[in-house]
């Protein structure tokens, strides 16, 4: 589940007073449901993020729809990997695929089927939904989830479903009153905790209301699908940081992070790391659902495993978009080092800076390799 503009700051305990993400938090028991402490975006916008997640190659600064006809199926593409595993792979987008040509890219990258807002609107016609069901950005997520539920229930094979939502995004015009969102409570909380002279320009209680609404919709979908398909596995993340936070900041832990939540009613996996990025999602799912000995290609590494004898990765390095991180800190060239704890901050900062710059250089080299793969293919002549 790729959630539009779903920033990790929404899980800060300060928002527990209004239950901002109480739905997804209710799934996190560290047995069947987990949330990674730090998870880095691999792109700064939807088009580039879906480019990463549909192909499995890191961000290249190129928009894939402008290169249609110049690239083919990547061995790292999750649609193709899960097709090999016997799953029917489907890409769902709550918006219109003509923007970004996502349906075409998904098809090239091995997905068996694709659906977008046009299909969802046909499904919604004549049904008892709220009056306002769409905007220029796409169909509202509650209807998208109902559509997906119907499609999955009709499949005769196991399914791998990549879902891109659309509602937590300007113009933020979901009818929150229709869904009984506690708007007044959220507004009071906003005024009491975030004075006007300290908040980010453009940030308001309406945005919080949409995050609250989305959290409950996606949680309802997960629990409903879990009842029908108890052997399901869900991974919830975002396409990118939502570009706005309650208080202005340039900390990488805010401006470069998104959630990563993993939930399964039947699996009790071992967590292998506290930090990761988008390129780690596919290998994580493969690790949990594939038979022993299955061979696949990925730029990332698994974050969870059913094999509890595996060691926790204390030296795990995460490569994001213009950001890198490890167990101790995040680093961007603009901000420098941001430590996760005051204990970590007592380390030798000079050595950490050297390490961070070395890792960041590797990230740049990986981006260059991705560009080569995109333009030249995977065979080096």
Tell me the domain boundaries of the chain. Answer: 2-315
**Residues 295-308: tens digit of each pLDDT:** 999 999 999 999 99
* Among candidate residues 203, 289, 259, the one with its CA nearest the CA of residue 24: 259
pLDDT of residue 344: 66
Residues 279-303 have a mean pLDDT of 97
Determine whether 208 is exposed, middle or buried from the number of CB atoms within 10 Å of its CB (0-12, 13-18, 19+): buried
Which of 35-44, 60-69, 107-116, 141-150 shows the lowest mean pLDDT across its residues? 60-69
pLDDT of residue 371: 87
CB-CB contact of 375 with 70 (8 Å) = yes
Q: pLDDT exceeding 90 applies to what percent of the chain?
A: 90
**Residues 349-361: tens digit of each pLDDT:** 779 999 999 999 9
pLDDT of residue 192: 96
Residues 147-170 have a mean pLDDT of 96
**Predicted TM-score of the model (pTM):** 0.95
pLDDT of residue 271: 98
Q: Which CATH class is domain 2-315?
A: alpha beta
pLDDT of residue 256: 98
Q: Where are the alpha helices (DSSP H) in 127-182?
A: 141-154
**Residues 307-321: tens digit of each pLDDT:** 999 999 999 999 999
Sign of the Cα torsion 206, 207, 209, 213 reads: positive
pLDDT of residue 374: 87
At what angle are helices 117-124 and 141-154 packed, to 10 degrees? 90
Residues 236-250 have a mean pLDDT of 97
pLDDT of residue 345: 67
pLDDT of residue 348: 73
Residues 247-262 have a mean pLDDT of 97
pLDDT of residue 378: 73
Residues 172-195 have a mean pLDDT of 97
Backbone angles phi, psi at 69, to 5 degrees: 95, -10
> Residue 272: is its pLDDT beyond 90?
yes
Number of H helices, E strands in the chain: 12, 17
Q: Distance (Å, rounded) from C-alpha 189 to C-alpha 141? A: 25
pLDDT of residue 212: 98
Listing DSSP states for 82-126 in one string gives: HHHTT-EEEEEESS-TTTTTHHHHHHHTT-SEEE-HHHHHHHHTT
Residues 340-348 have a mean pLDDT of 73
**Residues 116-128: tens digit of each pLDDT:** 999 999 999 999 9
CB-CB contact of 163 with 232 (8 Å) = no
**Can you name the residues that pair with 86 across neighbouring β-strands?**
none
> Residue 380: is its pLDDT beyond 70?
no
Tokens of 28: 């996190």
For the chain, the average pLDDT equals 95
């Amino acid at each position: 589940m790729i959630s539009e503009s779903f920033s990790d700051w929404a899980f800060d305990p300060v928002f527990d007073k209004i239950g901002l993400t109480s739905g997804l938090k209710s799934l996190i028991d560290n047995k069947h449901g987990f949330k990674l402490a730090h998870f880095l975006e691999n792109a700064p916008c939807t088009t580039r993020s879906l480019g990463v997640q549909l192909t499995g190659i890191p961000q290249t600064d190129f928009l894939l729809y402008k290169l249609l006809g110049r690239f083919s199926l990547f061995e790292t593409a999750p649609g193709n990997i899960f097709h090999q595993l016997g799953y029917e792979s489907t890409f769902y987008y709550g918006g219109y695929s003509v923007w970004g040509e996502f349906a075409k890219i998904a098809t090239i990258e091995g997905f068996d089927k694709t659906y977008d807002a046009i299909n969802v609107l046909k499904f919604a016609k004549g049904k008892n939904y709220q009056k306002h069901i769409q905007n220029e950005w796409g169909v509202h997520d509650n209807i998208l989830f109902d559509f997906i539920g119907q499609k999955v229930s009709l499949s005769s094979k196991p399914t791998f479903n990549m879902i891109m939502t659309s509602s937590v995004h300007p113009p933020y015009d979901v009818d929150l009153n229709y869904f009984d969102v506690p708007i007044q409570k959220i507004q009071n909380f906003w005024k009491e905790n975030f004075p006007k002279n300290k908040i980010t320009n453009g940030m308001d209680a309406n945005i919080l209301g949409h995050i609250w609404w989305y959290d409950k919709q996606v949680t309802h979908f997960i629990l409903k699908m879990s009842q029908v398909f108890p052997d399901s596995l869900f991974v919830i993340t975002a396409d990118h940081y939502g570009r706005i936070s309650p208080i202005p900041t340039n900390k990488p832990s805010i401006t470069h992070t998104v959630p990563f939540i993993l939930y399964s009613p039947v699996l009790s996996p071992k967590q292998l790391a506290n930090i990761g990025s988008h390129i780690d999602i596919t290998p994580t799912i493969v690790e949990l659902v594939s038979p022993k000995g299955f061979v696949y290609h990925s730029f990332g590494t698994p974050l969870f495993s059913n094999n509890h004898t595996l060691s926790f990765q204390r030296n795990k390095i995460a490569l994001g978009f213009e950001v890198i991180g490890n167990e101790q800190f995040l680093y961007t060239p603009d901000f420098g080092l941001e430590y996760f704890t005051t204990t970590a901050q007592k380390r030798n900062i000079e050595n950490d800076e050297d390490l961070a710059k070395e890792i960041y250089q590797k990230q740049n080299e990986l981006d260059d390799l991705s560009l080569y793969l995109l333009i030249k293919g995977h065979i080096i002549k």
